[in-house]
Amino acid sequence: MIKAVEKPVSHSEKDKTVRITIDGRSIDAPKGMNLLEVARSNGIDIPSLCYHPGLEAFGACRLCVVEITKPGWENWRKLVTSCLYPVEEDLIVYTRSPEVMENRRVVLDLQLARVPNSDVIRQLAAEYGIHDTTYTKRKDADNCILCGICVRVCEAVGANAISTLSRGPDKYVEVPDPEACIGCLACAESCPTDAIGWHEENGIRHIWHRDFELVECETCGKPILTQQQIDHFVEKSGLEERYFAKCDSCRKKETAVSISRVMF
Amino acid sequence: MSEQVAEKTCTCAEKFNGTLQAIFDRYPREESSLIMVLQDVQEELNWLPPEAINCVAENLNVPKAKVQGVATFYRAFSLEPRGKKLVKVCMGTACHVRGAGMLVDELERRLEVNAGKGMSPDGEFSLETVNCVGACAMAPAIVVGENYYANMGPDKLKRLLNKERES
Amino acid sequence: MSASTVTFSSIDALHKRAAKVKAEQEKHSMEVLVCAGPGCIAQGAKEIYQVITDKLDEHKTALKKKKLEVGVQLVSKCTGCHGMCEAGPVVTLEPSHHFYTHVTAKNAGDIVEKAILEGEIIEKLLYHQEARKGGNTVKRYTDIPFYALQNRIALRNVGVVDPLDLDDYLAHDGFKAIAKALTSMTPEEVADEVEKSGLRGRGGAGFPTGRKWKSALRVKKDRVWVICNGDEGDPGAFMDRAIMEGDPYSVIEGMLLGAYALGATEGYIYVRHEYPLAVKHLQLAIEKMTAAGLLGDKILGTDFSFHLKLTRGGGAFVCGESSALMRSIEGKVGEPRAKYVRSVEKGLHDEPTVLNNVETWTCIPAIIHKGASWFSSLGSKTSKGTKAFSLVGKVKHTGLVEVPMGRTLREIIFDIGGGIIDDRPFKAVQTGGPSGGCLPIDKLDLPVDFDTLAKAGAMMGSGGMIVMDDRTCMVDVAKYFINFLIGESCGKCVPCREGLRQVYDLLDKITRGDGEMDDIDKIEALCHTMEVASLCALGKSAPYPVTSTIQYFREEYEEHIRDHKCRAGVCKPLIKYHINKDCTGCLVCKRQCPVEAISGEKKKLHIIDQDICTTCGICMEVCNFDAVDIISGGVTVTQQLEKAAK
Q: Give per-residue pLDDT as tens, B111-127.
A: 999 998 889 999 999 99
Of all residues in chain A, the one with the smallest CA distance to C504 is A136
Inter-chain residue contact B92 with C236, CB threshold 8 Å: yes
Q: How far apart are CA A86 and CA C381, in angstroms?
A: 35
Residue in A62, A136, A164 closest to C502 by CB: A136
**Chains with 3 or more CB pairs closer than 8 angstroms to B?**
A, C
- Residues of chain B with C-beta less than 8 angstroms from the C-beta of A160: 63, 65-66
2.60.40.10, 3.30.300.100, 3.40.190.10, 3.40.30.10: CATH of C23-146 = 3.40.30.10
Q: Report the residue of chain B nearest A165, measured CA to CA.
A: B69
Q: Is the pLDDT of residue B69 over 90?
A: yes
Count Cα neighbours of A167 within 13 Å in the Cβ-side half-sphere. Answer: 27
CB contact under 8 A, A107 and C494: yes
For chain C of 646 residues, list the mean pLDDT of each consecutive stretch of 10: 70 95 84 80 84 89 80 54 67 87 91 89 82 67 84 90 90 96 97 97 90 94 94 88 93 98 97 91 96 96 97 90 94 88 91 96 98 96 94 87 95 93 94 91 94 87 91 95 94 97 97 96 96 93 95 97 96 96 95 92 95 91 93 91 81
Is residue A2's pLDDT more than 80?
Answer: no
Chain A closest-CA separation from residue C358 CA (Å): 27
Report CB contact under 8 Å: C532, A86.
no
Cβ neighbours around C553 below 10 Å, total = 20
The arithmetic mean of pLDDT across residues A47-69, rounded, is 95
pLDDT digits (tens, 9 = 90+) for A109-162: 999 999 999 999 999 999 999 999 999 999 999 999 999 999 999 999 999 999
- In one letter, which amino acid is C341? V
Residue B133 confidence (pLDDT): 81
CA C601 to chain centre: 48
Task: Mark yes or no for CB contact A165/B69 under 8 Å.
Answer: yes
Q: Do A148 and C492 touch (CB under 8 A)?
A: yes
Contact C316 A99 (CB under 8 A): no
Taking any CB pair shorter than 8 Å as contact, residues of chain C touching chain A are 219-220, 316, 333, 337-338, 340-341, 345-346, 486-495, 497-502, 505, 522, 525-526, 529, 532-535
Chain C environment of B23 (Cβ under 8 Å) = none
Which residue, among A193, B158, A59, A78, has the nearest Cα to C336 in the 3D structure? A59
Positions of CATH 3.10.20.600 in chain C: 386-469
What is the nearest CA distance from C525 to chain A, expressed in angstroms? 9
Interchain contact, C333 vs A110, CB within 8 Å: no
* E strand intervals along C272-397: 307-312, 353-357, 386-393
Chain Cα centroid distance, residue C620 = 31
What gap in Å lies between CA A13 and CA A21, rounded to an integer? 21
CB contact under 8 A, B68 and A161: no
Does a cis peptide bond (omega within 30 degrees of 0) precede residue A176? no
Mutation target vs C (from B73, B142, B158; most C CBs, 10 A cutoff): B73
* pLDDT above 70 for B39: yes
Residue A31 Cα to chain centre, angstroms: 23
Among the partner-chain residues A163, A167, A174, the one whose CB lies closest to the CB of B66 is A163
Chain B hits for C413, Cβ within 8 Å: none
pLDDT at B19: 86
Q: Which of B66, B130, B136 sits opposite C236 (nearest CB)?
A: B136
Angle C518-533/A98-114 helices, nearest 10 degrees? 110
The interface pTM score, or ipTM, of the predicted complex is 0.89
Contacts of A135 in chain C (CB under 8 A): 502, 505
Record the pTM.
Answer: 0.90
Choose the closest CB to C314 out of B77, B92, B137: B77
Neighbour tally for C3: CB within 10 Å: 10
3-state secondary structure of B48: coil
The C-alpha atoms of residue B2 and residue C157 are separated, in whole angstroms, by 42
pLDDT score for C15: 95
CB < 8 Å to B65, chain A: 160-163, 175-177, 180
| pLDDT of C333 | 94
Confidence of residue A5 (pLDDT cuts 50, 70, 90): very low
Residue C345 has its nearest CB partner, among A8, A113, A171, at: A8
Considering only the beta carbons, identify the residue of C488, C493, C522 that sits closest to A62.
C493
User: Which one of 3.30.70.1230, 3.30.2290.10, 1.10.10.10, 3.30.70.20 gives the CATH number of domain C575-645?
Assistant: 3.30.70.20
CA angle in degrees (0–180, nearest 5) for C224-C248-C140? 145
Distance from CA of A52 to the nearest CA of C (A): 16
Q: Write the class of the CATH domain A3-96.
A: alpha beta
Q: From chain C, pick out residues whose CB is under 8 angstroms from the CB of B72.
A: none
- What's the confidence (pLDDT) of residue B1? 39
Tell me the pLDDT of chain A averaged across its residues: 91
Amino acid at C515: G
Neighbours of chain A (3+ CB pairs under 8 A): B, C
Please, what is the average pLDDT of chain C?
90
List the Cα angle C61/C62/C63 in 5-degree steps: 90
How many C-beta atoms lie closer than 10 Å to residue A111's C-beta?
28
Which amino acid appears at position C437 of this protein? G
Topology (CATH) of C474-562: de novo design (two linked rop proteins) (1.20.1440)
Residues of A in contact with C505 (CB under 8 A): 135-136
Which tens digit of pLDDT belongs to each residue from A75-104?
899 999 999 999 999 999 999 999 999 999
Confidence of residue B10 (pLDDT cuts 50, 70, 90): low
Residue A120 burial by CB count (10 A; 0-12/13-18/19+): exposed, middle or buried? Answer: middle
Residues of chain C in contact with residue B149, where contact means CB-CB under 8 angstroms, are 42
Query: Nearest CB to C315: which of B76, B110, B153?
Result: B76
The class that CATH gives domain C166-376 is alpha beta
- A178 CB neighbours in chain B (<8 A) are none
**Cβ-contact A179, B54 below 8 angstroms:** no
Chain C CB contacts of A160 under 8 Å are none
Residue of C nearest to A60 (CA): C493
Most distant pair of Cα atoms in chain A: their distance: 70
What's the rounded Cα separation, in Å, for the pair B9 and B55? 10
In 3D space, the residue among C77, C212, C159, C154 whose CA is nearest the CA of residue C365 turns out to be C154
Q: What is the pLDDT of residues A226-246, one digit of tens each?
A: 999 999 999 988 888 888 888
Question: Which among C97, C89, C95 is positioned nearest to C35, based on CA atoms?
Answer: C89
Q: Which DSSP symbol is given to C360?
A: H
Average pLDDT over residues B144-160: 88
Question: Would you state the pLDDT for residue A89?
Answer: 93
CB contact under 8 A, A176 and B63: no
C374: Cβ–Cβ under 8 A, 6 or more apart, which residues? C367
Write the CA distances from C269 to A259, B73, C262, C329, C633, integer angstroms: 64, 21, 17, 10, 51
Domain residue spans in chain A? Answer: 3-96, 149-263
CA distance A159 to chain B (A): 9
Q: Which chain B residue lies closest to C393 (C-alpha atoms)?
A: B94
* Separation CA C582–CA B143 (nearest Å): 37
- Asked if C594 and B73 come within 8 Å (Cβ–Cβ), the reply is no
Backbone angles phi, psi at A163, to 5 degrees: -150, 155
Closest residue in A to C498 (Cα) is A110
Mark out chain A residues that contact chain C at CB-CB < 8 A.
4-8, 58-62, 65, 79-81, 84-86, 99, 102-103, 106-107, 110-111, 113-114, 134-136, 145-146, 148, 164, 166-171
DSSP bridge pairs for C309 = C268
Residue C395 DSSP symbol: B
CATH 1.20.1440.230 in chain C is located at 474-562
For CATH 3.40.30.10, list the domain ranges present in chain C.
Answer: 23-146
Q: How far is CA C310 from CA A72, B22, C281, in A?
A: 44, 19, 11
Nearest by CB to B65, from A160, A166, A167: name it. Answer: A160
Question: Which domains, ranges and CATH numbers included, belong to chain B?
Answer: 2-73 (1.10.10), 85-166 (3.40.30.10)
Point out the residue among C219, C340, C492 whose CB comes nearest to the CB of A86: C340
The burial class, CB within 10 Å (0-12 / 13-18 / 19+), for A97 is: middle
| Helix/strand number for chain A, H first, E second | 7, 11
Question: Where do runs of H (alpha helix) occur along C371-449?
Answer: 372-376, 409-410
The per-residue pLDDT of chain B, averaged, comes to 87
Domain C386-469 has CATH 3.30.70.980: no
